[in-house]
Amino acid sequence: MTDSHWRNILHHHDEPDEAMHRIDAQVAPLEELPDAVRHIRALISRFDSLTHYRAFDNLDLLVRAIGEGDYSGRPAVDVLTRDWEMDDQRRSRAKTYVQTLQAWSEGKSAEEAQQVAGDSELCAELYRTLGSLEEHKAWLTASLAHTLKAFAYEAQDLLDETDTADFVRGVYRAALGRDPSPDDLQNRLTELADGKSRDHFVREVFDSAESRQRQQWQVLEKLNSDDSEGC
């Protein structure tokens, strides 16, 4: 199976994201990889949902396949889903998989992974299953972690991982349509370092007079645009 069959996307008409392209660039040329490795990678790309009742069984099967370097031949992914809702317990467990798989693929110890992921028992189990670190296994594990992250993480989770300066710039661009001045950026970084939460900061910027005025102009522009299209 060639990389043209790999998806790692939420919708069939989309393209794989830049992060997955960077992960795939870890090994080259892709067409020279062993058949078993390429097969496992193709199966990872077809993971479709965390809401399916066998989702974690499928995840464990994929982790075992990476650790053993082979695939047992059983169907890895039943793509039927129940719905798009996920409770906190399931999401938390999925995040532990993501954080542990990422840590393992980066060569971190099980102890380091446990500090980030929190679930020491699951971390230890995944590390035992994956075994020794090898190039192809690290690539497959990073691919699985990134694929799973698309389902397990919400916007707030991704924002929490963002570099603080990039986070401040992103909020300003979204709320105000501009970057912060150098002085403003430094002041905001100081506020966040001193304990202001990111959630509070986001609400503060979006609730500012400048942001409200920008939103009002955007509404007017949208109304004018809709009027012209209706003529």
pLDDT in tens, 106-132: 999 999 998 888 888 999 999 999 999
State how far the Cα of 228 lies from the Cα of 121, in Å rounded to an integer: 61
Residue 147 has pLDDT above 60, yes or no: yes
> What are 85-89's contacts with CB under 8 Å, separation 24+?
85/51, 86/50, 86/51
Residue where a domain stops, chosen among 153, 184, 203: 153
Number of Cα atoms under 13 Å in the Cβ half of residue 154: 8
- Of the chain, the percentage scoring pLDDT greater than 70 comes to 84
Q: Look at the pTM and tell me if it is higher than 0.85.
A: no
Long-range CB pairs of 91-94, under 8 A, 24+ apart, other chains included: 91/50, 91/152, 91/154, 93/56, 93/119, 93/122, 94/50, 94/148, 94/151, 94/152
Which of 122, 138, 153 marks a domain boundary? 153
On whether both 99 and 211 belong to a single domain, the answer is no
More reliable by pLDDT, 179 or 117: 179
Same-domain pairing of 129 and 190: no
| Predicted pLDDT of residue 191 | 96
* Pair 220, 187 in one domain: yes
Distance CA 40, CA 142 (A): 13
Is residue 72 pLDDT above 60, yes or no? yes
State how far Cα 156 lies from the chain centre: 11
User: Do 88 and 201 belong together in one domain?
Assistant: no
Residues 117 and 167 in one domain: no
Task: Assess whether 116 and 205 both reside in one domain.
Answer: no
In the prediction, which pLDDT does 228 show? 62
Residues 34 and 49 in one domain: yes
| Higher-confidence position of 207 and 80 | 207
Mean of pLDDT over the chain: 84
Q: What local confidence, expressed as pLDDT, does residue 29 receive? A: 80
Structural domain boundaries enclosing 46? 3-153
When pLDDT is cut at 50, 70 and 90, the band that residue 175 belongs to is very high
CA–CA dist 200, 167 (Å, integer): 13
Show the tokens assigned to 165.
Answer: 């300066």
Q: Give the type of residue at 53.
A: Y
97-112 burial: b if 16+ Cβ within 10 Å, else e:
bbbbbbbbbeebebee
- Could you tell me if 118 and 170 lie in one domain? no
Q: Are residues 37 and 126 in the same domain?
A: yes
**Looking at residues 14-24, what average pLDDT do you find?**
76
Q: What is the pLDDT of residue 74?
A: 54
Query: Is pLDDT of 35 > 60?
Result: yes
Confidence of residue 86 (pLDDT cuts 50, 70, 90): low
Those residues whose C-beta lies under 8 Å from the C-beta of residue 129, and which sit 6 or more positions away, are: 60, 63, 64, 67
Lowest mean pLDDT: which of 69-73, 76-80, 185-189?
Answer: 76-80
User: Residue 80: its pLDDT value, please?
Assistant: 43
Percentage of residues in the chain with pLDDT exceeding 90? Answer: 45
Task: Please state which of the ranges 78-82, 130-134, 172-176 shows the lowest mean pLDDT.
Answer: 78-82
Q: How many domains does the chain have?
A: 2
More confident site: 150 or 180: 180
